Chains A and B, each alone.
Chain A
Amino acid sequence: MTQAAPLLQVFNVSKSFDVPRRLGAPPGKVHALDDVSLEIAEGETLGLVGESGCGKSTAGRAFLRLIEPDAGEVWFDGENLTAAIPRRMRALRKRLQIVFQDPYSSLNPRQKVADMLAEVLTVHKVCPRAEFPDRIATLLAEVGLPPAAAGRFPHEFSGGQRQRLGIARALSVGPDLIVADEAVSALDVSIQAQILELLGRLKAERSLSYLFITHDLGVVRYFCQRAAVMYLGRIVETGPVRALLDDPLHPYTRMLRAASPVPDPAAARKTVQVTGEVPSPLAPPSGCHFHPRCPLATAACRHARPAVTDMGDGRQVACHLYG
């Protein structure tokens, strides 16, 4: 860790959504983010992992204020994002970009690639219009697409190429931090490796930082330096990736790690101790949300939310076992 202040600092961010009354079910509230804090250093890749519905995508969007957090603060490069006025926020968006899982749904199907990129360059006043063709050609080359791609429509590209377009669009404004929300999850492994390699190269060349949201612990191990594990809106464990995966502290991290498929028949057939399912976020369990599935739960786990314990070596865990 460097002494400099982290690029992104998130303090106690919470976000809940109202769920309207549905057939046979009363209205409710989903606490998608419940007192989430984390930080990302300059040039660092932080993996945010968890199962569907744990709030990881909401986290990525809330940190960029694509959805407004209910409480808490997000600081970016020494500036309080959550207090920034719209005009300032717009300027900051050049430095904060996001890449989505399904690039096709985030690309306008009737817009040629060159027009799509030109629009971003115009909106953010990146460079004079005369420089657009050069800038676009450079961007396409940077993400490994041929120059001819500029004249094509999104449907003319394969899934991997579309993800390259999504990345090119994020890069066009020269960001410092990119939130990659399951950016490689929908891709076949051979293509996934190509995109990971591209993201890694861009990180080195442009000294980018990433918040890398994924459910795949293998990708986390390969691509991230640190990781935070989420369960039902809360971060349960944070630490350097290798330590976190080789010696997980939180019982949920252990379960997730044990359930992750390994390409090794001997290891893959060991009986995995996985019990239960993620409960409904509408009615999360009391105390530690994980206690109904936890093999080590005690009375305290049912009643009190565990505080975050600093375990040294950059590791933090929110579990009564360590409190």
Chain B
Amino acid sequence: MTDAPVLAVRGLSTQFRIGGAWRAATRNVAFDLFENQTLALVGESGCGKSITCQAILGLLPHGVARVEGSIRYRGRELVGLAEPEMEGIRGSEIAMIFQEPMTALNPVMPVGEQIAEAILVHRKCARAEAKAEAIAFMDRVRIPAAAQRYRDYPHQFSGGMRQRIVIAMAMACKPKVLLADEPTTALDVTIQAQILAELRDLCANFRMSMVFITHSLGVVAAIADAVAVMYAGEIVEMAPVEELFAAPKHPYTQALFRAIPRVDENAEGLQPIPGQVPPITAFGEGCRFAPRCPARMPRCTGPTPRLAGAPGSGHAVACYLHHSETLDAEAAR
């Protein structure tokens, strides 16, 4: 790992205009992504994990969404970047894959040609060369008989194979950062295991960094180096993966672990988290988990707790229960 992060996000807030008012979908999101590192953004539906990735790539629609804060890709500010310049980054520097591969594939174009097209858009080379490279990438993501299947259409592939094609397309431009938005959620577990292994391999071989969005802590355990847990538009805890699983600190993270039925252990009883995630129109001040939190204190509804942790530990948490550590960290600065 080098010192400078490939991607540095600071104070990222995204707002949407809903019923005439601007509502913050994410608030003060900050993280660093280093070379060859996989950061998992984990959280339940509506916590802002997809919006964060779309903001990074400038995919949020202008007019109804606005982005504040800073997103630096290798030192270059992406927030407010003009569209033509953003296009130079999209795909070739930062690529994205989605949950449903069919929405990313053109149903009436052979898959091989789609990959070759992606190569041609981003790089000047001969068509034959692009085709050879597309086949090499199809082979790389283990599509059997890649050369023969070059001219097949998306509907002739299974869901898992389609996701491999989308991954091949994303990899074809050799991006430095891959944003993967629930890429295995729609797949069966045996296929999911294969795709996760594939992505781990690709990241290692291409020294690629990845932001991996998922709602499953099991998938996080399998893919991530570091984890950011999101709740209602904010990162509430961030830590290296082993540490987060060994000693989760935020009451929400702890509650998530207690709510998962595990395949490897007999649970005496699950502990559901009471209530539900507030809608975006009801995001208030203070800790947004407070209404559901078993350890709620009066101050939790006051100023929002900031994400902070002991220096050098890499483990940060936004919770007043750990405020002494927060103060230590601030004193050290």
Contacts and interface: CB of A to CB of B under 8 A. Distances in A.
Given A189-B44, A263-B245, A272-B193, A221 B263 contact: yes
Contacts of B217: 263
B319 interface: no
Interface stretch (B83-91, B98-106, B252-260, B324-332): B252-260
B268 to A, nearest CB: 10
B261 interface: yes
A261 B221 contact: yes
Contacts of B273: 190, 193-194
A274 B272 contact: no
A160 interface: yes
B218 A261 contact: yes
Contacts of B257: 263
Contact of B259 (A192, A259, A268): A192
Chain A CB within 10 A, most for which of B190, B191, B194: B190
Interface string A234-269: 000000001001000000000111111111111111
B282 interface: no
A188 B215 contact: yes
Interface string B256-277: 1101111110110011111011
B189 interface: yes
Interface in B190-245: 190-194, 197, 215-222, 241-242, 245
Given A188-B215, A190-B44, A260 B189 contact: yes
B148 interface: no
Given A158-B276, A265-B242, A274-B193, A189 B259 contact: yes
A298 interface: no
A277 interface: yes
B259 to A, nearest CB: 4
A194 B267 CA distance: 15
A218 B267 CA distance: 10
Residue among B218, B261, B277 having the largest count of chain A Cβ atoms under 10 Å: B261
Nearest to B269: A197
A216 B160 CA distance: 18
A261 B261 contact: no
B190 A190 contact: no
Interface in A188-247: 188-194, 196-197, 215-223, 242, 245
A277 B221 contact: no
A194 B272 CA distance: 5
Nearest to B47: A188
A188 B44 contact: yes
B261 A190 contact: no
Contacts of A197: 270, 272
Interface string B64-95: 00000000000000000000000000000000
Interface of A: 51-52, 158-160, 188-194, 196-197, 215-223, 242, 245, 255-269, 271-272, 274, 277-278
Closest 8 CB pairs of A and B: A261-B218, A222-B261, A193-B272, A190-B273, A268-B221, A268-B222, A188-B44, A259-B193
Given A261-B218, A263-B260, A278-B190, 10 more contacts: A190-B256, A191-B272, A193-B260, A217-B189, A218-B262, A262-B221, A267-B221, A268-B221, A268-B222, A277-B161
